Each structure stands twice: as C-alpha cells, then as structure tokens.
Amino acid sequence: MEVNIKDVVVPGDVAVEIMKSSEKERVILGPGLRRDCDRVLVTKAGVLKRRKPAIFYVDSYQKRYVPNRGENVVGIVTQKAGDIYRVDIGAGELASLSYLAFEGATKKNRPDIVVGDVIFAKLLVASKGMEPELICVDSHGKKGKLGVLSPDGMLFDCSLSLARKLLHPSCQLLTLLAKEQAYEIAIGMNGKIWMKARSVHETIAACNAILAAENTPPAEMPALCSSIARNLLRIS
C-alpha cells in the first residue's frame, strides 16, 4: 500500500512521498526504511516521520535492541576473558570491550573493572555479522561522559522508544525532575537506564517517574513530577 508522512505504516508499504520529494537533494533513510531499486519500502511497523531537510524514518515501538555504530549504551560486565570484557547490552550477542579502551589504560595499568559492574559505553563496531564492540574513550583518548557507573545506583530496563523519548531534545521530563530532586542518570539507546539520586527512596521515585513517562503526554509531565515529589514527602 502506498503511504505518506505521518501515516501508520506496516512492513511492505511503499513510501511514495520520499521518491517524489527527492529529485535533486540527498535523502537520508533512517531505521525502518530500505531502498529497493527506485522505490522506498517500509520494514518496521510504526509511524513514518520526516525531519528537515530530508531525513525519513519509522518511529516504532520496540524492545529488542539492535546495535548501531556510534550509539551510547548502558551494559553489565558479565565476563572477563583474557584482554577483553564481555558486556551484556541487551542485544542478540554479548558485546566486547577491550581493557585498553579506557582513559589512561596501558597493558600494565589495567582499568579497575570487575564482573557485575555497570558501564556507559559507545558502540565502535556494530554490524550484522560481527559481535558489537564497545569503547569507553572518545577519539582524543578522553573518557568524557563514558565509563563505569557507580555501584550505588539502580539499573532498570525500558522500551527503546521510551529511551528515545527521554533523549529527544524537546523532552522536558529530565529538567522537570531536576526541579524536584538531585539525581544523575545514564540513558542507553539499548533501553537500559541507570539512575542514582540522594537516597534509595528518591532513586526509586525517579525511576517510577521515568517509567510512567512512557504513556504521558508532554503537557502532563509537570503534574507527574510534582505528584512523585508529593509522594516522596509523605514517605519521609
């Protein structure tokens, strides 16, 4: 069936508008779209979206993470095998993380990571046939925001679309939550979220707020945050 922008689409649909709009300019096909000769086919169920100038993608609900190069993910170290760590990032396969991929790490000076640690890392390699590879430094060898997350936080899973919703520049939830309490958070594109606030109560409350945000429209988010804060006051 032929579909247009903002339509609900299913795999196999033909996105006609993309071919029409793109006589001269380069078109970027995001997740959920693929090219077949000079047609563009939909491969995921969701809503077909467009971002200026010519970026098209399917906004879909998904829980299984498929690694993509350059994405930031939260993972759990599950194994130490020779000179690499195996990290569970929720993909079909465990990701590998070299012990040299940390700031200031050398062959003699290994990073202090044990099995069970939670890390925030960037995907360096992610292709269909190979195991994903993580890295905890940027191209300048600086760690930046990546690295081990402290063990007194809490890790929980959510859908990939919620992770995307939180990371969207127009999402106000994180700043609204910051007005109620101090916290730090690491949101992975793989739908794993690590959260730490001042106390266990606060951490759990903030986690609940984030999970509740999945089905909350942006307009109701201030109300959500204040109700969480009110509940916290009642407990303490």
Partner 1 sequence: MTAREVNKTKLSKGILEMKFMKRTKEKVEKQLFQEEGKEYFGAQLTNHMKKGSDKFIIEPSFVFCEGLLDGRVSFRGMNPEIERLMELEEEAKQALTRKQNETEITDEQMAKHYRSSAVDTMAKKFRTKHENKKYVRDDSIEIEPLEKKPKFLKPSD
Q: How far is the CB of 178 from partner 1 (least distance, A)?
A: 3
**Coil, helix or strand for 153?**
coil
List the interface residues with partner 1, window 184-203 (CB under 8 A): 184-189, 196-198
Of 7-15, 20-28, 95-103, 221-229, the segment contacting partner 1 by CB under 8 A is 20-28
Of residues 7, 14, 43, 72, which one binds partner 1 by CB under 8 A?
A: 72
Nearer to partner 1 by Cβ, of 30 and 83: the residue is: 30
Of 32-40, 77-85, 87-95, 211-219, the segment contacting partner 1 by CB under 8 A is 32-40
Of residues 6, 63, 64, 69, which one binds partner 1 by CB under 8 A?
A: 69
Amino acid at 68: N
* Residues near partner 1 (CB under 8 A), total: 47
Contact between 43 and partner 1 by CB under 8 A: the answer reads no
List the interface residues with partner 1, window 88-147 (CB under 8 A): 120, 144-146
Fill in the per-residue mask, 150 to 169: x = in contact with partner 1 (CB under 8 A), - = not in contact.
-------------xx-xxxx
The residue written with tokens 């032929």 in the block is 2
Output the six-digit token pair for 181. 């309490």
Angle (deg, nearest 10), helices 200-212 and 221-235: 150
Nearest to 60 by CA among 126, 10, 123: 10
Q: Which residues contact 49 (CB under 8 A, 6 or more apart)?
A: 5, 6, 56, 57, 58, 59
Q: In this structure, what DSSP letter does residue 220 have?
A: G
Q: How far is the CB of 82 from partner 1 (least distance, A)?
A: 29
Task: Give the integer Cα–Cα distance in Å for 207 and 22.
Answer: 43
Q: How far is the CB of 35 from partner 1 (least distance, A)?
A: 5
Q: How far is the CB of 27 from partner 1 (least distance, A)?
A: 5
Contact between 205 and partner 1 by CB under 8 A: the answer reads no
Nearer to partner 1 by Cβ, of 57 and 102: the residue is: 57
Amino acid at 34: R
Other beta carbons within 10 angstroms of residue 87's beta carbon come to 25
What is the DSSP track for 70-129? T-EEEEEEEEEETTEEEEE-SSSS-EEEETTSSTT--SSS-----TT-EEEEEEEE--SS
Chain positions contacting partner 1, by CB under 8 A? 22, 26-31, 34-38, 40, 51, 55, 57, 68-72, 120, 144-146, 163-164, 166-169, 174-175, 177-178, 181-189, 196-198
